[in-house]
Amino acid sequence: MRFEGKTVIVTGASAGMGYRIALDFANEGATVIAVARRKERLEELAKEAENLTGKILPYAGDVTTKEMAEGMIDYAVEQGGKLDILVNNAGIMDEFKPLTEMTDELWDKVMSVNLDGPVKAMRKALEVMLEQETGGNIVNIASIGGICGARAGAAYTASKHAMVGISKNTAFMYANNGIRCNVICPGGIETEIMSTQSDLSQFGLGRAMAGLDTSIPAGKTEDISSIVLLIASDEGKFINGSTIVVDGGVSCN
Ligand SMILES: NC(=O)c1ccc[n+]([C@@H]2O[C@H](COP(=O)([O-])OP(=O)(O)OC[C@H]3O[C@@H](n4cnc5c(N)ncnc54)[C@H](OP(=O)(O)O)[C@@H]3O)[C@@H](O)[C@H]2O)c1
């Protein structure tokens, strides 16, 4: 029971990796604030966790707003008395659009979910974590698109590279304050994310798939969740500022 008495926020908890991460924390005793826009999905998740040692509390809304990013942290402190772990997982793709096909709207949308929302949440979380004796832990979910330029469109790639940078900077700045910050870069994982993409750039997709070893199977949500929990636990206490690639070897070629 690694997370008994811990308060955890997981964004993007209504589907995919976030759903699994929230359940796994609750299974190990945590009080989990589950954040996403689809309230009914969060309620299903909370129900699924009813027999677990910890609990899941839905907090529905759009993580791109300051009100929501700060509100979820206030709510976590209200419910658990402190905030131990923030998992910035909510994210969207960019239809593999290269810059020549990018619109202002798509750029802003991707940046606001994948970068601005997490940064707003981190700023508020750090305020809380710096004040509490127990420090805190931030785990950001980027992508292999955050370590290379080849596997997504321009906005997604830029947003995930920025998440890698901001995670390292945060880890270094607060390393003496009992606060850790790490970033995970998953490869392809079986979730809903591709089904949210309706207007794919054929050029961008073709370039992103070039040279990709498609014989390596996609991962499962638990392959990412287990690493999030490891990093956030005491077993991971010396992991700080790390970029952890979890992709079955896809990015080695
Ligand atoms: N799946 C992959 O192959 C893969 C690979 C590398 C990295 N990743 C990254 O992993 C993370 C999770 O992806 P996933 O594959 O699990 O995606 P997913 O199945 O599409 O789930 C995305 C989650 O983000 C939430 N979300 C999206 N926009 C939001 C907003 N504005 N406000 C609040 N919540 C929002 C969605 O909930 P609502 O729609 O209910 O708001 C949903 O819970 C993302 O950051 C993604 O970039 C995924």
Strand order in the sheet with 55-60: 55-60, 31-36, 7-11, 85-88, 136-141, 179-186, 243-246
Q: What is the pLDDT of residue 212?
A: 87
**193 CB under 6 A from ligand 1?**
yes
- CATH fold of 7-252 reads Rossmann fold (3.40.50)
| Helices 117-131 & 154-173 angle (0-180, nearest 10) | 10
Q: Whose CA is nearest to atom 31 of ligand 1?
A: 62
pLDDT in tens, the chain (253 residues): 999 999 999 999 999 999 999 999 999 999 999 999 999 999 999 999 999 999 999 999 999 999 999 999 999 999 999 999 999 999 999 999 999 999 999 999 999 999 999 999 999 999 999 999 999 999 999 999 999 999 999 999 999 999 999 999 999 999 999 999 999 999 999 999 999 998 999 999 999 999 888 899 999 999 999 999 999 999 999 999 999 999 999 998 7
Cα 133 → chain centroid = 25
Q: Answer yes or no: is the C-beta of 139 below 6 A from any ligand 1 atom.
A: no
Show which residues are catalytic: 156
The pLDDT score that the predictor gives to residue 121 is: 98
Geometric angle at alpha carbon 219, from 56 and 210, rounded to 5°: 135
Whole-number Å distance, alpha carbon 26 to ligand 1 midpoint, is: 20
Do residues 113 and 91 lie in contact, with contact meaning Cβ atoms separated by under 8 Å?
A: yes
This prediction's pTM: 0.98
At residue 85, φ and ψ (nearest 5 deg) are -140, 130
Contact 84, 137 (CB under 8 A): yes
**Of all atoms in ligand 1, which is nearest to the CA of residue 38?**
40
Task: Using the structure block, give the residue that is written with the tokens 């392959």.
Answer: 223
Q: Report the candidate in 61, 6, 71 with the shortest Cα–Cα distance to residue 32.
A: 6
Kindly report the protein residue whose alpha carbon is nearest to atom 18 of ligand 1: 193
Q: How many residues does the chain have?
A: 253
Q: Indicate if ligand 1 lies below 6 Å from the C-beta of 137.
A: no
Residue 67 burial (10 A CB sphere; 0-12, 13-18, 19+) = exposed
